[in-house]
Structure 1
């Protein structure tokens, strides 16, 4: 007989709920650390909710911009930055800006989604 294993998103939700109940009872450094932990759990929940691996998606986009078949996100990002600085992608400037902006928005959507909410008198997005 196999033992029940809850889904990871259920486990994360339980941890987040426990932290949400615990934070108001804490002070000082302990409160801050619990808030950080709750924020990190939220990031994990949102990352799982996207159904994609952000580093893998980044690598795919960066490789495409560089005309490569694939690679690791970190080295590809560094190579992309060097190519931009050297002007090697100036002929595709709009496509590069669009791709980098789209990946940045995807990252912010996971890490700090409130930063993408409409705000200000004109309802403009930050």
Structure 2
């Protein structure tokens, strides 16, 4: 029963990751990083303007990183709450959170998540 619950929690986690706007912030972080590298390597921009631009780019990268971190915390909290509720409602003989934290639980979670993403992509789910 604990394996089935972990599988369902993994599917929930994958769907949350897909549905939350991670991609938008990761792409934004990549764009700002490329712009900052372009500014640093440019010989036509004075050091004064490089300092001004890099301050802005640093701020933008920090905000995008914080947003990604916030989304990860929200996702972790939602999965943690779901696991806690499953512990309360389902008599599985052990704590799901303890199992997920163990080496075998992490292995099961990785395998189930990868298989789910592969099957989801093959079926052409949006």
TM-score (normalised: structure 2): 0.32
Which structure is higher in RCO with an 8 Å CA cutoff and minimum separation 6? 2
Q: Which has the larger Rg?
A: 2
Higher helix proportion, which one?
2
TM-score (normalised: structure 1): 0.32
